[in-house]
Amino acid sequence: MISMRSEGRAMGAVISRNFSLIRRYLGWEVVFAFYNAVNALTIALIGLAEPGPGQGRRVLYLAIGALLWNFLSVLFFEISNSVMWERWEGTIEYSFMAPVRRVTYLLGVCAYAVVYGLARTLVVLLGIFLLFHLPLGQADLTAALLVLAAASLPFIGLGLLGAIMPMLSAERGAQATQVIQGVILLVSGIYYPITVLPHWLQVLAWFSPATYTLTSVRAAVLDGASVGAVLPTVFGLLGAGIVLVPIGIWAFHIAERYALRTGKLKRNG
């Protein structure tokens, strides 16, 4: 009981620390949110390039991709950034020296990243609603949100894999996580159907949780697929998360052992 309370406090401390850091960089947060909104709007505008009856649907198709990609990018960045920041400041030695289970620490980092990612995506969504008249009449937003919530779990697993790199290299590690992001962007059909990919890349798309997330979110928003219709995807994503999160935690543990063996955690001295 006491241990559970301690772990809960530790997780809360990680979340609270990250939000405190946001408060200190509030001006920059506005800049980043503005950039995200402009980026998503630019992509959605491509849908207007070709006039015709399917214009609204095209804009919505691209906007969904832009929104999900925004969420994924922020989630990935924030998970790896939390570790990178600790490496830069040298605080990682103090965090890892504390008697808190690593999984608690990492869940704190991930919980913050999900909440923050959703907040940033909401800002982008507002921008899209302000600029476009989107045909949402038949959309089942509950089904779409359910898919997105389930998708957070496998994305957290991938984020944990990405967090390994800044732990091993403060200088280059965070940029290296963009490799994972780049592959997901390429193969998951964020802005185009995966059928346009060469066959061997389509094989990779089958392994990306983002592929299924996008297909189902688009089905819910564009074609009104119900909660019942997206449930198989929801369960599939949860299943992927149940596999990927432990893999992420295990890989982080292996990387931490490597860092403890080679002295990679230290910044000075």
Partner 1 sequence: MLAIECVDVFKSFRPERESLLGRKKPKVAALQDISFTMPESECLGILGPNGSGKSTLIRLICTLLLPDRGELKVFGRDVVKAPQEVRRLIHRVSVEASFFKKLSAQENLDYAAGLYGLSRGAARSRAQEILERLGLPRAKYRAPLEEMSRGQQQKVAIARALLTSPTLLLLDEPTTGLDPRSRRDVQQFIEEIRHDYGASIVLCTHDMQEAQRLCDRVAVLRDGRFIALDTPTELAVRHGGGGGLEGAFLALTGEDPHEEEEMNA
Interface residues with partner 1 (CB under 8 A)? 2, 5-7, 9-10, 12-14, 16-17, 20-21, 24-25, 85, 89-91, 93-101, 105, 257, 260-263, 265-269
Greatest Cα pair distance, the chain, in angstroms, is: 66
Distance of alpha carbon 87 from alpha carbon 219, whole angstroms: 42
Q: Please, which residue, 85 or 212, has the CB nearer to partner 1?
A: 85
In the complex, minimum distance from the CB of residue 214 to partner 1, in angstroms, rounded to a whole number: 36
Q: Please, which residue, 22 or 231, has the CB nearer to partner 1?
A: 22
In the complex, minimum distance from the CB of residue 241 to partner 1, in angstroms, rounded to a whole number: 26
Q: Please, which residue, 92 or 124, has the CB nearer to partner 1?
A: 92
Q: Give the residue from 205, 2, 227, 9 showing the smallest Cα distance to 107.
A: 9
Q: Please, which residue, 88 or 191, has the CB nearer to partner 1?
A: 88
Q: Please, which residue, 43 or 164, has the CB nearer to partner 1?
A: 164
In the complex, minimum distance from the CB of residue 10 to partner 1, in angstroms, rounded to a whole number: 5
What is residue 30's three-state secondary structure? helix
In the complex, minimum distance from the CB of residue 266 to partner 1, in angstroms, rounded to a whole number: 7
Q: Please, which residue, 140 or 256, has the CB nearer to partner 1?
A: 256
For residues 9-47, one letter each, b for 16 or more C-beta atoms within 10 angstroms of the residue's C-beta and e for the rest, the string is ebbebbbebbeeeeeeeeeebeeebeebbebbbebbeeb
Cα 108 from chain centre: 15
Q: Please, which residue, 90 or 236, has the CB nearer to partner 1?
A: 90
> What contacts 206, CB < 8 A, 6 or more positions away?
none
Angle at 166 between CA 162 and CA 171, to 5 degrees: 140
In the complex, minimum distance from the CB of residue 26 to partner 1, in angstroms, rounded to a whole number: 11
Cα 166 from chain centre: 17
Terminal-to-terminal C-alpha distance of the chain: 38
In the complex, minimum distance from the CB of residue 133 to partner 1, in angstroms, rounded to a whole number: 42
In the complex, minimum distance from the CB of residue 73 to partner 1, in angstroms, rounded to a whole number: 23
Distance of alpha carbon 60 from alpha carbon 254, whole angstroms: 42
Q: Are 71 and 117 in contact (CB under 8 A)?
A: yes
